[in-house]
Structure 1
Amino acid sequence: MKAQVFRGVNQLSYEEIPTPEIGSDEVLVQVQVVGLCQSDIKKIRYPLYEPPRIFGHETAGVIAAVGADVKHWHVGQRVVVLHHIPCMHCGYCLNDNFSMCDVYKTITTTAGFAPSGGGFAEYVKVPGHIVQHGGLLSIPDHISFEQASFVEPTNCCLKAVKKADITPGQTVLVTGAGPIGLMFIMLVKYFGAKAIATDLLPSRIEKALNVGADAAFDARDPDLSAKVQDLTQGMGVDTSLLAVPSEKAFFQALDCTRKGGKILFFAEFPDEVEIPINPNILYRREIDLMGSYSSSYRVQALAADIVFSQKIDVDALVSDRYPLRELAAAVERAVTPTPETLKILIYPHESSAVSLD
């Protein structure tokens, strides 16, 4: 089969490699589409993992083979593949910190080499632990593979929205209107709250309004805080969601968040970044700082229902489609986006990949 093998920093090799052999409790899935995630880009562009590996984890496809002991799944079923499933009994899992679980981090789907997601290949193997504990989701007939590939990123964003306890009637600031920020806007609206978005690109500011933001501003606007205050009766927003790794965005959020409000870090900052802050600001204003990383088993069913019931418009997030062999070009497009670049999808079958430029 064909796969994009990570051979070193910024080195992707489109290679012929063996199709994974499955054990008695495992499933082999033919990949139809896989989303390109910022975490994939980070792993490809920085020396974080030893090669060789095959990344990619926002995967939807068709079951191509099942092990002898596998029950309830059969060849030909259309499925979403979830690349991580926690153990459910360690100290982290018992406290709903599923993404900190060692099993969650180490048992993952694979297309070969060190297991690393494996979606950037024609076939991916799903380990028994994942098969047996909810890591395959059947795709309804009315849902496309493209739409289904959004279940995992929806889970990640939904986890953050739940952690911030966003409720009807609240107002939420979303910093950054890329694919993740736009999904946050949709989910904020889904939960009955109001969304205010910021971005640097006029096209993304307009897109934010199109997907449901109540207001959207240029992040460089010197009057941003005053405008947010005007929209919130002088209070400030209840919660700020940082969807971009920007120190400036954090301080804007701090200015815009009401006393007793919350600021949630969703985007991952470079390790060398340090943000100086006077702790008395948090103390006197009772601001809660929190982080949300990866997905949550707890919201998995709800994330799937939101996508499969089309309660958010994931189609509006897709801007580009690339064949698997052009993954390097897709990464470059994501790193140096055009004003129209949003979510990029990757296809092992080239006939399905048509750029939306």
Structure 2
Amino acid sequence: MKAQIFRGVNNLSYEEIPVPTLEADEVLVQVRVVGLCQSDIKKIRYPLYEPPRIFGHETAGIITAVGDKVKKWEVGQRVAVMHHIPCMRCAYCMNDNFSMCDTYKNIVTTAGFTPSGGGFAEYVKVPGHIVENGGLIPIPDDITFEEASFVEPTNCCLKAVKKAEIAPGKTVLITGAGPIGLMFIMLVKYFGGKAISTDLLPSRIQKAMEVGAEAAMDARDRNLTTKIQELTNGLGVDVTLLAVPSEKAFFQALDCTRKGGKILFFAEFPDELEIPINPNILYRREIDLMGSYSSSYRLQSLAADIVFNRRIDVKALISNSYSLENLSAAVEQAVTPSEDTYKILIYP
């Protein structure tokens, strides 16, 4: 089969490799479409992992083989693939910190080499633990593979929305109107909140309004804080979701979030970045700082429901499609987006 192998920083190699062999409790999925995620891009462009690896984890496809002990799944079924599932028994899982679980981190879908997602290949192997514990999600007949590939990123965004306690009547500032920021706008609206968006690109500011933002502004606007105060009766927003790894965006969030509000870090910042902050700002204004990383097993059914029942329009987020052979070009477009670049899908 063909696969894009990470051979080093900014070095993807389109190669022929063996189709993964199955153990008795495993399933083989033919990848029909896989989303290109910002986390994939970071892994490709920075020295975070030792090569060789095959990345890609927002996967949807067709089961083409099952191990002898697999009873619940059959060849030909269309499935969305969750690339990791927690153990549900460790101290982290017992506190709903599923993404900190060692099993969640280490038992991962693979197309070969060190398991790393494996979606950037023609076939991906799903380990028995994931097969048995809800990591395969049947795709309804009326849902496309493209839509189904959004179940995993929807879960990740849902986790942040739930953690920030976004509910009807809440006003939420979302920094960045890329594919994740736009999904946040849709989810905030779905849960009854009001979204305010910022970005640097005029097209993305317009797109934010199209998908449901109450207001969208240029992040460089010197009057941004004043305008947000005017939109919130002088209070500031209840919650800010940082969907871009920007120090300036964080300080804007401090200025724009009300006393007693929340600021949630969703985008991953560079490791070398340190942000100085006077702790009395948090103390006196009772600002909650929090982070949200990866997905939540507890929200998996809700994520599937939202995508499969089209409660948000994930198709509106798709801007480009690339063959697997041209993955490097897709990464380059994502890093230097054009006016109309949003979610990029890859087709093995």
**TM-score range normalised by the length of the shorter chain:** over 0.9
1:55 Cα deviation (Å)? 0.3
Distance (Å, rounded) in 1 between the aligned partners of 2:129 and 2:201: 43
Aligned residue for 1:320, secondary structure, equals strand
Instruction: Determine the structure 2 residue equivalent to 1:300.
Output: 300
Instruction: Determine the structure 2 residue equivalent to 1:99.
Output: 99
Tell me the alpha carbon deviations over residues 26-61 of structure 1, each in whole angstroms, 9 at most, x when there is no partner: 000000000000000000011111111000000000
Instruction: Determine the structure 2 residue equivalent to 1:342.
Output: 342
1:89 partner amino acid: R
Aligned residue for 1:28, secondary structure, equals strand
Instruction: Determine the structure 1 residue equivalent to 2:330.
Output: 330
1:221 Cα deviation (Å)? 0.4
Aligned residue for 1:41, secondary structure, equals helix
Aligned residue for 1:83, secondary structure, equals coil
Instruction: Determine the structure 2 residue equivalent to 1:232.
Output: 232
Instruction: Determine the structure 2 residue equivalent to 1:351.
Output: none
Alignment of 1:142-181 (within 5 A): 142-181=142-181
Q: After the TM superposition, which parts of structure 1 deviate over 3 Å for at least 4 consecutive aligned residues?
A: none
Instruction: Determine the structure 2 residue equivalent to 1:354.
Output: none
Instruction: Determine the structure 2 residue equivalent to 1:244.
Output: 244
Q: CA RMSD in A?
A: 0.4
Distance (Å, rounded) in 1 between the aligned partners of 2:62 and 2:33: 10
Distance (Å, rounded) in 2 between the aligned partners of 1:27 and 1:141: 21
Instruction: Determine the structure 1 residue equivalent to 2:71.
Output: 71
Tell me the alpha carbon deviations over residues 147-171 of structure 1, each in whole angstroms, 9 at most, x when there is no partner: 0000000000000000000010110
Tell me the alpha carbon deviations over residues 326-346 of structure 1, each in whole angstroms, 9 at most, x when there is no partner: 000100111111011000000
Calculate percent identity across the aligned residue pairs. Answer: 80
Instruction: Determine the structure 2 residue equivalent to 1:281.
Output: 281
1:94 Cα deviation (Å)? 0.3
Distance (Å, rounded) in 1 between the aligned partners of 2:276 and 2:115: 37
Instruction: Determine the structure 2 residue equivalent to 1:112.
Output: 112
Instruction: Determine the structure 2 residue equivalent to 1:36.
Output: 36
1:183 Cα deviation (Å)? 0.2
Give the aligned length: 348
2:75 partner amino acid: V
2:317 partner amino acid: L
Tell me the alpha carbon deviations over residues 74-106 of structure 1, each in whole angstroms, 9 at most, x when there is no partner: 000000000010000000000000000000000
Unaligned runs of 5+ in 1: 349-357
1:71 Cα deviation (Å)? 1.2
1:11 Cα deviation (Å)? 0.6
Aligned residue for 1:62, secondary structure, equals strand
1:72 Cα deviation (Å)? 1.4
Distance (Å, rounded) in 2 between the aligned partners of 1:248 and 1:324: 35
1:95 partner amino acid: N
Instruction: Determine the structure 2 residue equivalent to 1:82.
Output: 82
Distance (Å, rounded) in 2 between the aligned partners of 1:23 and 1:63: 15
Instruction: Determine the structure 2 residue equivalent to 1:19.
Output: 19
Alignment of 1:262-273 (within 5 A): 262-273=262-273
Instruction: Determine the structure 1 residue equivalent to 2:135.
Output: 135
Instruction: Determine the structure 2 residue equivalent to 1:317.
Output: 317
2:12 partner amino acid: L
Unaligned runs of 5+ in 2: none
TM-score by length of 1: 0.97
1:247 Cα deviation (Å)? 0.4
1:322 Cα deviation (Å)? 0.1
Distance (Å, rounded) in 2 between the aligned partners of 1:240 and 1:203: 22
Aligned residue for 2:60, secondary structure, equals strand
Instruction: Determine the structure 1 residue equivalent to 2:7.
Output: 7
1:76 partner amino acid: G
1:215 Cα deviation (Å)? 0.2
TM-score by length of 2: 1.00
